[in-house]
Chain A
Amino acid sequence: MRHRCQHLDGNGAVSRDALVFVGPIASVTLSRPVLKPEDVLQASSIQIKMLVDTGASKTVVDRGIAESLGLEPIRFEPMIGISHVPEECPIFFLSVAIGFADGPRTTSMTFTSEMVGMSTPPTPRPFNGLLGRDFLQFVRLAYDGPAGHCDIVANAADNTALYVHGAHTGNKRTQQRTVRKKSRY
């Protein structure tokens, strides 16, 4: 199963330049942490773009987005930004859903994860957060520069996601199952 990060130009063609200058951008859905599988479909959520950043140890999100979900921080941690001076940043606990495709089959995997909330300048930008290594530890990355895309590859059998929702295109059948065996809620 893979989530493809690629940029299309005005003609609908894959842009290798955009992958170089903007980077691999993933579309994810953030929501309040889901405690039970049935909560996944009911939680208020927001869809955002996040840059896949192997240089970031922690996943970072625009603080305003986390707060728009009604979340409060679970603690603060010192983070070093461009000022090189540690600043206290809020840590949010939330769920991240990513859509994956496996041929005609589409699946959404939900991970529950910490994110660092950071204030960002109000200038337009192509992404609202960084998918760091604390999230990437659950998946594989396949960066194909010549083809102009980067795939996030996951395997439901890895037991890394909390919940997997599968939908087969065509008949709209939906499956739901919990895949984390150690932590079932």
Chain B
Amino acid sequence: MGTVSEKVLQETKLFRAALPGLLAEHRGQWVVFIDGSVRSFHDDEKSAYDAAVQEFGPGTGYVIAPVSEMHPTPVTAAVMFGLSCA
């Protein structure tokens, strides 16, 4: 059995797989996602967090995520500017 963090990573991958099917009707909402399925939808992140903690307890392997496309984000603009002088 893995750590909670490993479970969250696994659930994140399952959420991404389910995301295309959620975007049409739930874009912009927040979800609580666990065991490969959406447990609940919410209008904002804090509401989703509250609901997840109330139902499952803090940090028990659920995913809280926005229903929106996910793109890689640069840590800071300097990273994208470049670090080489060559």
Contacts and interface: CB of A to CB of B under 8 A. Distances in A.
A17 interface: no
A114 B46 CA distance: 10
Contacts of B61: 72
B49 interface: yes
B63 A75 contact: yes
Contact of B8 (A76, A114, A118): A76
Q: Is the interface of A mostly helix, strand, loop or mixed?
A: loop
B58 A72 contact: yes
B75 interface: yes
Given A57-B73, A90-B5, A80 B65 contact: no
B1 interface: no
Which of A70, A72, A82 gathers most chain B CB within 10 Å?
Answer: A72
Contacts of A116: 75
B76 to A, nearest CB: 4
A142 interface: no
Contacts, number: 88
A46 interface: no
B53 to A, nearest CB: 7
A77 interface: yes
A81 interface: yes
Interface in B40-80: 44-47, 49-50, 52-53, 58-65, 70-80
A75 B15 contact: yes
A86 B12 contact: no
Given A72-B5, A93-B64, 5 more contacts: A55-B76, A75-B63, A77-B73, A78-B71, A80-B79
Interface of A: 32-33, 35, 53, 55-58, 60, 70-82, 84, 86, 88, 90, 93, 112, 114, 116, 118, 130, 132, 183, 185
